[in-house]
Amino acid sequence: MWDDLKNWQARRHAELAGPDSWLGLAGLFWLEPGLNSVGSADGSVVQLPGGPAHLGDLSWQDGRVMWLPLAGEERELQTDIVGQPTVVEFQNWAFFPVDRENRIAIRLRDRNWAASQPFTGLDYFDFDPAWQIEAQWQALSPPISMEVPNVSGDLKVVEVSHQAVFEVAGQTVTLLPMAVSDKEVFFVFRDRTSGKESYGAGRFLKANPAVNGKIRLNFNCAYNPPCAFTPFATCPLPPPENWLPFAVPAGERKWVKPG
């Protein structure tokens, strides 16, 4: 298990140190219906840090996002609603559309971000096998609808049909999943370390799908959400149901930006 954890930590480091890291985000720009200018000119909807005053326009209408460059062919951009978004490259910059409850934003990324401030790594709580918990995976009948806020203040309604139920120090608690697929179950939670030793807005946790009514929660792999690293993310916040009444000294600690 220790080797698995070290491999997971190494993958986390590679993800955050790479050119597509959350640390490389340089902007988040909300589009309005119709034409949205892209360039370095003041007043551009998508403001580039450099380059031409007007690189092109993004057209958002009828649920479609079209890229209309001043030089080159126009093309439709896919958002991240069903997978990887379409990326537009310009010099060391890249931008792409994201869909947030039928609102469209453009994320801008600097792929050369690490040249000025390379990623120095993450801090972790010591590995503790006690935080590898086998929880009951209980069906909710009827399922519940839960409003999940994000850091931008938007609400997303999540349909929840199961809950993880487990015991810590004689106290029975539950966690409600934010998303369930045939590959993984995704949770967002807070605990008594949040805002002190770990990130204040909570942490993420992924688990393999339940087997025979049980799900394994390995809090040693609890990790910081993207909004711990950039103001240009739109992370879900843990609902009150997932505020654990005890400390979980496992997984990633709070990340502190160098300098």
Residue 251 is encoded by which pair of tokens? 């997984």
Query: How many whole angstroms separate alpha carbon 36 and alpha carbon 57?
Result: 5
Confidence band, pLDDT 50/70/90 cuts, at residue 133: very high
Query: How many whole angstroms separate alpha carbon 220 and alpha carbon 82?
Result: 29
Residue 156 reports pLDDT greater than 90: no
Q: What is the pLDDT of residues 193-226, one digit of tens each?
A: 999 999 999 999 999 999 999 999 999 999 999 9
- Residue 21, pLDDT score: 94
Strands laid side by side in the 56-61 sheet = 46-47, 34-39, 56-61, 64-69, 75-77
Mean pLDDT over residues 160-166, rounded? 96
More confident residue, 117 or 135: 135
* Region for 162 from its dihedrals, namely left if φ exceeds 0, alpha if ψ lies in -120 to 50, beta otherwise: beta
Confidence band, pLDDT 50/70/90 cuts, at residue 128: very high
Cα 167–chain centre separation: 28
Mean pLDDT computed over every residue of the chain: 93
Coil, strand or helix: which one is 12?
Answer: helix
Are 92 and 115 within 8 A, CB to CB? no
Query: Percentage of residues in the chain with pLDDT exceeding 70?
Result: 97
Confidence band, pLDDT 50/70/90 cuts, at residue 257: confident
Query: Percentage of residues in the chain with pLDDT exceeding 90?
Result: 83
Q: In sequence order, which residues have a C-beta less than 8 Å from that of residue 41 and are 6 or more positions away?
A: 53, 54
At the top level of CATH, which class does the domain 19-115 belong to?
mainly beta
Query: How many whole angstroms separate alpha carbon 67 and alpha carbon 65?
Result: 7
User: What ranges do the domains of the chain cover?
Assistant: 2-13+121-242, 19-115
Mean pLDDT over residues 104-119, rounded? 92
Confidence band, pLDDT 50/70/90 cuts, at residue 150: confident
- Residue 83, pLDDT score: 87
Strands laid side by side in the 25-30 sheet = 25-30, 103-110, 93-100, 88-90
- Write phi, then psi, for 153 (nearest 5 degrees): 90, 0
Q: What is the pLDDT of residues 32-62, one digit of tens each?
A: 999 999 999 999 999 999 999 999 999 999 8
- Residue 100, pLDDT score: 87
Residue 1 reports pLDDT greater than 80: no
Mean pLDDT over residues 73-93, rounded? 93
- Cα separations in angstroms, 174 against 3, 47, 162: 29, 44, 10
